[in-house]
Structure 1
Amino acid sequence: MSDRNTFLAFGMAGVLAAGTLAASATMAAEDNFPDGNITFLVAAGAGGGTDNFARTIQPLLEERLDTTVNVINLPTASGAIAHQRTASGKADGRTLDFASSTLVTSLAAGQNPTGLDQLTPVARMQSDVMALVVNPDKYEDLEAFMEHAREQPGDTVIGGTAAASPDKMAFLAFQDATGLDLSFVPYDQEGSTAANVLSGNIDGMFNEISSITGYTESGKMKPILFFAEQPLEGFSEVPTTVGQGWDLTNGNERGVFVSAKTSPELVNRLESALHEIYQSDQYQQYAERVHLDYRDGWMGSDAYQQKLQQDLKQYRTLLKQQ
C-alpha cells in the first residue's frame, strides 16, 4: 500500500472511530437521562396560567424521570429571557421552556429575538379557548355589542394584556373578520383589564376562558363569543366564531420547548414522558378543574412545529394590516 493510501486509510479509520465515540456518548447520555436535575424556565410570572401549568407538570415529571425539577419564573420582556436561555443553553434536555402563545405573538411583533429555528417544541399540552367578555350590565349579548360597534365606529374599546399578546391577536382577527372599527387598549396585568371592564371604562376584553371563570361564575362578567367550532358545554347559549361564519379558533396555547440543538432522541424521550403525563388522571383532573378540557390540548413535536409556523405567518399578516 502506498504512503498516500496508508494515510487515507488511517484518516478514514480516525473519522469512523470519532463518529463511533460520538454516537456512543450520545447513547450513553440518553440511557442515563436526565442524569441530574431538570430546570423549568417559565416564560411568565408566578400565579398565571403558564406558571400553574409548569407547577402541575413538575411533580409528575419528577416521578416519571426519577429526578428533581426546579422551577424558575422569567416573565421579563414577555418571556424573551426564558427563550434566549433555553436556546443558548446546553442541549441535554434538562432545560425546558414552558411558554404560551406569547412566544409566537411576540416573535411576530418583532419583540422576541429567539426564532422558531432556535427552539424545538416538545409538545403542546393546552389549547385554551379565547372569549370576548363584557359587563352584562352594558351588553346583553353579541348582537347588542355588534350593534353598538356598528353605530359607534372607533368608539368601541376592547382591552387585553400587552400589545403583542394572544389577546391582541384575537382582537385583530375579530376586527378583520367582522369589518368593525374597534380600538384596543393594552394593560400590563389581566386584573387591570378586568377592572376597566367592570367599571365600564372599556366595552369588553379578550381573554382565555380558564382565566375568567371566577368572573363568569359570579355573574360580574359574561362571555358573548367563543373562538371555537362548537358551542361549549355549560355555555350553549353563547355563539362561536365558526357558527358566525368566521374561521377563527386560535386561543392561548401552552407547551414545552428545548434548545433546537437537542437530539431527536432526547426530544422523543421528553415527548413520551409528557404524553404519559397528559393522559394521566392527575393531569386530566387539573385540566377539568381549570376549564382546559373544552378541546384536546395535546399536539406532538412535529405537529406543534407546523402549527407554530402557521400561527407566526397569520399573526405577522394581522399586524401588517392594523
Structure 2
Amino acid sequence: MLTKSTFKMATLGVALVSVATAVNADDAADYPTKTIQFLVAAGAGGGTDNFARVVRPMFEEALGGANITVINLPSASGALAHQRTATGAADGHTLDFASTTLVTSLAAGQNPIGLDQLTPVARMQSDVMALFVNPERYPDFESFLEYAKENPGEVTVGGTHTASPDHVSFLSLRDASGLDMNFIPYDSTGNATANVLGNNIDATTTSLSPLLSYMEAGQMMPILVFSDERLADYPDVPTTAEYEWDLTDGNDRAIFVHADTPEPLLKRLEDTFKRFTTLRSTRHTPSE
C-alpha cells in the first residue's frame, strides 16, 4: 500500500527512437562529460519541480557522482525549457522535465516545440488532480458546492497558467458541474496556494504531490478528487464519479531530450532511469 510519504516511480512508457546521428558505444559509456542540466518547465515548488529534485540525487548516484544543476523555466507555459532543449546540443546533457502541460500548451498554440524536436526518454510519474481548499473555509465539497450554487460568479479557483492541467481540470469541473466559477492563472503552484491560504481565492485545482506538506500540516485539503475511486490516503474525500460526472483527470510527468540525441546515449539514459525501481511516488492508490 502506498502512502503519501512513500513514492514509487515506475518507469512507465519508456520510449526510444532511432536517429541519424552516429555515436559509438565508448562515447555513451563516457557519459556524462560535463555538468548535466535538468530544465524544469515549471516554477519552483510545483509537482514537476519536486519530481526533478527527487530524481536528481538518484540520477547523480546512478552515474557515479555526476554534477547536475536544476533550472526552473516556467515562462510561456514551460515553452522556454522545451526550446532550450530542442535547440541545444544533442549530447544528452540537457534533460527537459515536463508535465502534461507540454501537450496542453502545444494544443493551445502556446508552445511551438513538439515531438519532432524532442524525444521522450521516460514517463515516470502520474499524479491525480483534485480540488483543494483551506479547510477552515470549506470543510468539505458539499459546503463548497452549496456556496458556489448560492453565489454564482463569485467563486474563484486558481491554478498555474492558462492551458495548464490545472486550468483544464477547472474547465472540466465547471462544465461537468454547471457551476458559475472563475479561474485565475498564476505563474506557480506556490502562488496559487498562497492565495488560497490568504483567502484571496476560494480553491485551487492541482495535483496531489505539490501540496503534500500543506496537507500534512492541515493547511490545505483536497475536497474532491478527479478519479473513479476514492484514494486510500483520503478515504473520506469524494470523487467526481460519485457525482456522476464524466470527469477523471491527472498530470503525468516525463523526461525529454533533443530529438537528434544519438541512440547509444538514449539507451544509456533509458537504462539509468530503469535503475530507479522503488523511489518516491505521487501516485496515490484507490482505496480498497
| 2:81 corresponds to | 82
Q: Deviations over 1:253-289 (max 9, x none)?
A: 2210011223455434322321221x14xx2xx33xx
The separation in 1 between residues aligned to 2:45 and 2:198, in whole angstroms, is: 24
| 1:113 and 2:112 correspond | yes
Change (3 A) 1:136 1:67: closer
2:133, 2:222 within 8 Å by CA — same for their partners in 1?
Answer: yes
Note the 1:1-322 alignment, pairs <5 A. 25-28=22-25, 31-34=28-31, 36-37=33-34, 38-66=36-64, 68-75=66-73, 76-277=75-276, 279-280=277-278, 283=279, 286-287=280-281, 292-295=282-285
As a proportion of its length, which structure holds more helix?
1
Shift of 1:236: 0.5
Higher relative contact order (CA 8 A, sep 6+): 2
| 1:315 corresponds to | none
1:180 counterpart letter in structure 2: L
The separation in 1 between residues aligned to 2:199 and 2:149, in whole angstroms, is: 19
Change (3 A) 1:194 1:40: closer
Q: Select the structure of larger CA radius of gyration.
A: 1
The separation in 1 between residues aligned to 2:45 and 2:204, in whole angstroms, is: 20
Secondary structure of residue in 1 paired with 2:214: helix
Q: Deviations over 1:70-125 (max 9, x none)?
A: 22414133322221121122323332111222322322332222123221111111
Secondary structure of residue in 1 paired with 2:275: helix
1:99 counterpart letter in structure 2: A
Change (3 A) 1:189 1:60: closer
1:157 counterpart letter in structure 2: T
1:40, 1:69 within 8 Å by CA — same for their partners in 2?
Answer: no
The gaps in structure 2 that reach 5 residues or longer are 1-19
Secondary structure of residue in 1 paired with 2:109: coil
Q: TM-score, normalised by structure 1?
A: 0.72
Shift of 1:139: 2.6
Q: Deviations over 1:204-244 (max 9, x none)?
A: 11122222233333333331101223211231110112333
Change (3 A) 1:269 1:250: farther
1:87 counterpart letter in structure 2: A
1:32 counterpart letter in structure 2: A
The separation in 2 between residues aligned to 1:198 and 1:65, in whole angstroms, is: 41
Shift of 1:202: 2.3
Shift of 1:164: 3.0
Secondary structure of residue in 1 paired with 2:105: helix
2:32, 2:66 within 8 Å by CA — same for their partners in 1?
Answer: no
2:163 counterpart letter in structure 1: A
| 1:305 corresponds to | none
The separation in 2 between residues aligned to 1:132 and 1:143, in whole angstroms, is: 12
Shift of 1:46: 4.0
Secondary structure of residue in 1 paired with 2:223: strand
1:45, 1:73 within 8 Å by CA — same for their partners in 2?
Answer: no
The separation in 2 between residues aligned to 1:205 and 1:72, in whole angstroms, is: 26
Secondary structure of residue in 2 paired with 1:252: strand
Q: Deviations over 1:289-321 (max 9, x none)?
A: xxx14159xxxxxxxxxxxxxxxxxxxxxxxxx
The separation in 2 between residues aligned to 1:176 and 1:188, in whole angstroms, is: 24
Secondary structure of residue in 2 paired with 1:93: coil
Between 102-111 and 124-133, report the one with greater CA deviation: 102-111
The separation in 2 between residues aligned to 1:212 and 1:31, in whole angstroms, is: 38
The separation in 2 between residues aligned to 1:239 and 1:92, in whole angstroms, is: 47
2:40 counterpart letter in structure 1: V
Change (3 A) 1:248 1:124: farther
Shift of 1:127: 1.2
Change (3 A) 1:116 1:181: farther
Q: Deviations over 1:136-181 (max 9, x none)?
A: 3333322232233233332221111222322111101111222222
Amino-acid identity (%): 53
- Paired residues, what number? 265
